[in-house]
Amino acid sequence: MLLSLPFQPLEFEHTLLSVICAGLTCHLIFNRLEPRSLLHLVLLLAVPPSVLTVLVLPHTSGLSSAVPLTFALYISSLGTSVVLYRLSPFHPLAKYPGPMLCKVSKLWFAGVAMKGKQHLYYSELHQRFGDVVRIGPNELSFRDVKAIVPMMGSKGMPKGPWWDGRVPAQNREVRPLLALRNPEEHARRRRAWTRAFNTPALKDYEVLVDARVSQLVDILTTKIGTSVDLSQWLGWLTYDIMNDIMFSGGGDSMETEDRDISRLLGNAQPMALFLSHLPWTAEFYLRLPGVGRDLRAFRTYAAQRAFERKARGSHQKDVFYHLIDEAGLEATPPSSAQVTSDGGLAIVAGSETTSTTLSHAFFLLLCNPTAYRRLQAEVDDPKRDTWVPASQAHMPYLNAVINEALRLFPAVLSGSQRAPLIGSGGQIIGSHFVPEGTSAVVHTYSLHRQAENFSPFPDTFLPERWLAAKEQIALEPKIFGGKHEVIHNTAAFIPFSVGPSNCVGRNLAYQEMRMVVCTLMSKFDMRFEEGFDIDSWEENMLDYFVVQRGRLPVVLTARAS
């Protein structure tokens, strides 16, 4: 039965056309303004069809049919318009190849990423489509060394909207350094981090690292002859080291074999990655009751550690000393919330990435006995002060092993998304123009394994590629003696990123990895546990921005002093 209204209803065809036009207008607004806040999304997606229901109502039996009809027509016209535009030749990225589903919506890529294999999907797309691939409606992935400096150099692009999905809206005023999208704010905040990881500071941290490595050796010595999960122990080691360096102590994972922190992070990462690929969904998801529990628990833990350290005061110049500006070098002291946010960043970025690279390095060495013996010979060389960090920095094979592990398995496998500065109009990346509103990434994993950058055998663990030509020929004459074309493009080696937003703790990571590898190689002989499936290591490796690792079961034997 038709309802009577205080105005003359439109013809049914005109009513439907009005709803369709409203949906198309909504698409135009989204395309021009890109609203992301929850309020704006509700205003655009819910209010118009609710109002238009009044026009549809006279042509239906009541609200129960008018409301779903109006919403369905409004949303479908909006969705159809979006899909057709994204696939049309009028889209700014129309000329770039990529899967149709990626062009239509980032939802497809986000779903792939949640499985933990996005690094392989990126690589597959580059193998299929070339060096520049459209991986989203408004996102490009580059596998091109010429894109590195224009994208990430001093005149490059700031962080992209990917980072908005990792920071709840209510916390965006106190983003961690890693997630800052404003270049000026990033430069201001980074000053404290630079002081915390300069050469004098690294010298102070040596004793802290050495003490924790010695503790690990003592613990592993009690487990001689049994199988240990070396990856797990390296995770506990680097976590305790970062607590010492960050907060002057408080981390005792090796002593307690505490798995709670790694569990919290591990459980939170898949959804955090999904929200990063679809940052607008974070506004909805993080407001749902009961969700994000593990992530909030970790943030609470980081805040507690920061407050405890602040209450204790300064006994030595740890990282917190610099972040909270206890020396009074900054005009405006940082807020407690800011320092807490950065404290959580330091624990994750400083421990997980280092333990991941160390785990890969030992796995690759155990898979390659020749490389293992060569490194052990260098560590045992009586002419070298292999216990001194300054000397370790000049051990060729040690550094070759670490760099080759970083090349094959960069700690951040899929790079860091960037986007043109708002108001800039866009950015030139080599021969490509990236318009404002478009995101881009240099895919590190693919770049590092590109034959044009590292040959021969770009997918093979070959530490010798990092040595001087004379040493290469002496150690591997069949490979480097002229039979194969040798390409070693260090400009394509970016495991710590480059430019103003590169990893501020890069030198600490190298120092820590050298000390750990030298010590363990000198103290123990290692072999895989009997029956260990070597292929399972890469199969169990999951790329959630922070890499999740499987077990690395190793049997240790004590070496003679």
pLDDT digits (tens, 9 = 90+) for 397-438: 999 999 999 999 999 999 999 999 988 989 999 999 999 999
* pLDDT above 80 for 371: yes
Instruction: Enumerate the known binding-site residues.
Output: 503
pLDDT value for 156: 94
Q: Which residue did the predictor score with more confidence, 547 or 64?
A: 547
Lowest mean pLDDT among 94-98, 171-175, 310-314, 531-535: 171-175
pLDDT value for 281: 85
* pLDDT above 70 for 33: yes
423: phi > 0 → left, psi -120 to 50 → alpha, else beta; which? left
Compute, in degrees rounded to 10, the torsion defined by CA atoms 124, 125, 129, 135.
-170
Q: pLDDT tens digit string along 460-469?
A: 999 999 999 9
* pLDDT above 90 for 294: no
Q: What is the CA radius of gyration of the chain?
A: 27
Q: What angle do CA 531, 532, 537 make, to 5 degrees?
A: 160
Distance from C-alpha of 138 to C-alpha of 360, rounded to nearest angstrom? 34
* pLDDT above 50 for 245: yes
Q: Chain-centre distance of CA 147, in angstroms?
A: 19
Lowest mean pLDDT among 12-16, 311-315, 503-507, 544-548: 311-315
Q: Which residue did the predictor score with more confidence, 188 or 33?
A: 188
Compute, in degrees rounded to 10, the torsion defined by CA atoms 422, 425, 429, 432.
140
Instruction: Enumerate the known binding-site residues for heme.
Output: 503
Q: Which token pair is 296?
A: 């909030």
3-state secondary structure of 157: coil
Q: Which token pair is 443?
A: 């895919």
* pLDDT above 60 for 535: yes
Express as a percent the part of the chain with pLDDT over 70: 96
Q: pLDDT tens digit string along 246-287?
A: 888 877 889 988 777 777 777 788 888 999 999 988 877 877
Contacts of 11 (CB under 8 A, 6+ apart): none
Distance from C-alpha of 245 to C-alpha of 131, rounded to nearest angstrom? 40
| C-beta separation of 389 from 514 below 8 A | yes
Q: Which helix (H) or strand (E) holds 426?
A: strand 426-429
Indicate the pLDDT class of residue 191, thresholds 50, 70 and 90.
very high
* pLDDT above 50 for 119: yes
Q: What angle do CA 351, 352, 354 make, to 5 degrees?
A: 70
Distance from C-alpha of 294 to C-alpha of 274, rounded to nearest angstrom? 15
| C-beta separation of 521 from 556 below 8 A | no
Evaluated on CA atoms 301, 303, 309, 311, the torsion sign reads negative
336: phi > 0 → left, psi -120 to 50 → alpha, else beta; which? alpha
- The single-letter code of the amino acid at 47 is V
Lowest mean pLDDT among 392-396, 456-460, 479-483: 479-483
The phi and psi torsions of 91 (rounded to 5 degrees) equal: -70, 140
pLDDT value for 1: 44
- The single-letter code of the amino acid at 375 is L
Q: Which token pair is 21?
A: 């036009």
* pLDDT above 70 for 124: yes
> What count of Cα atoms within 13 Å lies in the side-chain half-sphere of residue 395?
31
The residues that bridge with 553 in the sheet, in sequence order, are 229
The residues that bridge with 527 in the sheet, in sequence order, are 555
Kindly report the pTM of this predicted structure. 0.92
Q: Which token pair is 265?
A: 């992070």
489: phi > 0 → left, psi -120 to 50 → alpha, else beta; which? beta
| C-beta separation of 385 from 391 below 8 A | yes
> What count of Cα atoms within 13 Å lies in the side-chain half-sphere of residue 180?
21
Distance from C-alpha of 530 to C-alpha of 52, rounded to nearest angstrom? 69
Distance from C-alpha of 236 to C-alpha of 263, rounded to nearest angstrom? 12
* pLDDT above 70 for 561: no
Q: Which helix (H) or strand (E) holds 85?
A: helix 63-87
